[in-house]
A and B are shown apart, each in its own frame.
Chain A
Amino acid sequence: MTDAPILEAIALDKVFRVRRKGAPHDIHALKNVETQLHPGETLGLVGESGSGKTTLARILIGIEEPTRGEVRFEGNAVRSAEGWRELRRQVQYVFQDPFTALCPTMRIGAALAEPLAIHGICPKPERKDRVAKMLGLVGLSADMAGRLPYQLSGGQRQRVNLARALMLEPRVLICDEIVSGLDVSVQAQVLALLVDLQGKLDLSLIFISHDLRVVRYLCDRVQVMLLGDTVEHGPTAEVFDDPQHEYTRKLLDAIPDRDHAARISKSALQYG
């Protein structure tokens, strides 16, 4: 982890101006937030709804423009449209809802080939092979390419979304709540796939989740956010075992825990 960061956010501020009862009103979504992602690592972004984790991720790939601050990729500030185009090839985003992230009338094969066409990096005749190879990589059969999204289960769709993000061979993958809508057994399959792909493709991951159990399982480092501020960051095991900030402690206490619950019910039995 001594390597230079691959993706960085420097002193990001984001203010959304909205109208409330007619009067302009500023919402401070991010306040001077810094983040660093090193090659090969998995960074967990945690915090409750409204803490700014998705806003931060959206700024990192340029969907949202920061009010102040900058994004650096491999040490260079990204400013020009050219720079953002290159960054979006190297940094890919996987969205939360596997149902709305795919065009309902586009066959899976076409959806997977689209990024190649947009970036013009693979000659048309070879695209079909690339798509079949990628489907194999995420554990789907090649005949999936002819299907439409509605014919797929939630887990299969999330695999397709992963495959689509990986088509351009990115170096960074931003996963925004990608397993929260899935059943436990499917969630485990997708997590196992993610770990496997990360090893094979040398990916760096930013993993956003409100499920702290998944974050603890997957992430090397974790950054805890509250109302647009970073309240604590560090190696996952350290933060989880010895939280320094009161808010982190509160969050960790709220994790449902079968062992903890069993202890409580044995000692108290007040609801028995």
Chain B
Amino acid sequence: MTAPLLAIEDLVVSFPSNHAPLHAVDRVSFALKPGESLVIAGESGSGKSLLCRSILGVEPETAKVAGRLDWKGKSLLNLSVAQWRPLRGAEIAMIFQDPTAALNPLLTVGRQIMDVVRAHRKCSRNEARSRAIEVLGTAGLPEPEHRLTSYPSELSGGMRQRVAIALALSAGPELLIADEATTNLDVSIQAQIVTLLHDLRSKLGVALIFVTHDLDLAAEVGGELLVMYAGQPVEMGPVDTVLADPCHPYTRGLLRSAPTARSSRRTPLRPIPGQAPKLGAVGDGAPFRDRCPVLISGLCDRSRPGWTEAGPSHRVACHRFEQDGRDGLT
């Protein structure tokens, strides 16, 4: 058994308010070993981006992070700027959703990557330059040596995203966090980036956290799947298992709402009625209760469901599932 790189237990990210603190991420636990991947799926407001930012210590200043957040056995909570410096960008790197906002528009691509390389490793300009060419190549940018002098505005969206990926790879991270990194890209580029992430895992042993709201894409990425709703984990297990046998009403609803590669109007989509709850509106009950088709009144609105085993390493947080198993679901 290799020790986990990242171990998270009962992580809570909350914002202060006039009443009780608002829990944007509410008791999330998982562990990640080298080469493993975790896909976090959920919609806007599910807390997935905030969770990622907290791992990297770049959550908003007003947010309060509590629980266990260990990197190689040492806590990442309350580190000083100096303590973060050898970790952030070097051991743990993040690819943000919007590459236009993640790149400096006034500096060339080469300069931005070389800056990162030289911030984390003592090396000459020339060495940094060849490292920049190397990572741009790894990220699948054609003619990387000619791209060093390009400014972000001269590149297309797909190419900018590759530069953002190259930037994340430049210091050789052991954990890569991709927050909706392919969401705005064309399908063919998206497929190439997913293949690249597979290669990084299998060849370099990089661990991956991949955030998406697209469950089909989650299947392509593979590994473990964590489904989040309103800040809470609701279902967890190997991606294939969860998608083949979804056991939480929210996961089921998501799968029914999304058209697949073969659906047509003859089998209408079944949207989940209503809207996701506002931050802080969940209270004590099950987070999905207002939109749930198999609600148990008197129970779901009072207590938060704990984990129930749905199979080997497949867990669900649902009162209905705990009571009636798969027969209780629609």
Contact = CB atoms under 8 A, between A and B. Distances in A.
A262 B259 contact: no
B20 interface: no
B216 A185 contact: no
Contacts of B253: 185
Nearest to B257: A188
A271 B202 contact: yes
Interface in B249-286: 253-254, 256-265, 268-272, 275
Nearest to B274: A185
A140 interface: no
Contacts of B223: 271
B140 to A, nearest CB: 14
Contact of A218 (B218, B260, B265): B265
A258 B216 contact: yes
B195 to A, nearest CB: 10
B313 interface: no
B217 interface: yes
A261 B188 contact: no
A260 B253 CA distance: 21
Given A187-B257, A271-B222, A216 B264 contact: yes
A132 B256 CA distance: 31
B219 A261 contact: yes
Given A258-B215, A258-B219, A184 B187 contact: no
A184 B213 contact: yes
Contact of A188 (B186, B194, B269): B269
Contacts of B156: 49-50
B43 A213 contact: no
B322 interface: no
Contacts of B259: 191, 213-214, 216-218
A213 B243 contact: no
B244 A195 contact: no
- Interface-central residue, B157, B191, B258, B263, by most chain A CB under 10 Å: B258
B222 A188 contact: no
Contacts of A151: none
B198 A271 contact: yes
A17 interface: no
A237 interface: yes
A270 interface: yes
B264 A185 contact: no
A192 interface: yes
Contact of A216 (B37, B186, B263): B263
Contacts of A191: 259, 269
A117 B58 CA distance: 49
Contact of A261 (B158, B201, B220, B272): B220
A187 B253 CA distance: 13
Contacts of B186: 48-49, 210
A256 interface: yes
A184 B43 contact: yes
A184 B216 contact: no
A189 interface: yes
A251 interface: yes
Contacts of A272: 222
Contacts of B262: 216
A143 interface: no
A212 B219 contact: no
Given A185-B43, A265-B222, A155 B275 contact: yes
A183 interface: yes
A217 B240 contact: no
Nearest to A191: B269
A50 B215 CA distance: 27
A255 interface: yes
Interface in B156-213: 156-158, 186-191, 194, 198, 201-202, 213
A214 B258 CA distance: 8
Contacts of B260: 213, 257-259
A258 B262 CA distance: 11
A251 B188 contact: yes
Contacts of B213: 183-184
A213 B269 contact: no
A254 B157 contact: no
B214 interface: yes
B216 A261 contact: yes
Residue of B37, B254, B271, B275 with most partner-chain A CB within 10 A: B271
Contacts of A183: 43-44, 213
B264 A217 contact: yes
30 contacts: A154-B44, A184-B215, A184-B254, A185-B257, A185-B271, A186-B271, A187-B257, A188-B257, A188-B258, A188-B271, A189-B271, A192-B269, A212-B187, A216-B259, A216-B263, A217-B269, A236-B264, A254-B187, A254-B188, A256-B187, A256-B190, A256-B194, A256-B219, A257-B260, A258-B215, A258-B243, A258-B260, A271-B202, A271-B222, A271-B223
Top 7 A-B residue pairs of the complex, sorted by shortest distance between their CB atoms: A188-B257, A188-B271, A261-B219, A217-B259, A256-B216, A183-B43, A254-B191
Given A217-B259, A217-B263, 19 more contacts: A154-B44, A183-B213, A185-B271, A188-B256, A188-B258, A189-B271, A191-B259, A191-B269, A216-B263, A217-B265, A237-B264, A254-B191, A257-B220, A258-B215, A258-B260, A262-B219, A265-B240, A271-B201, A271-B202
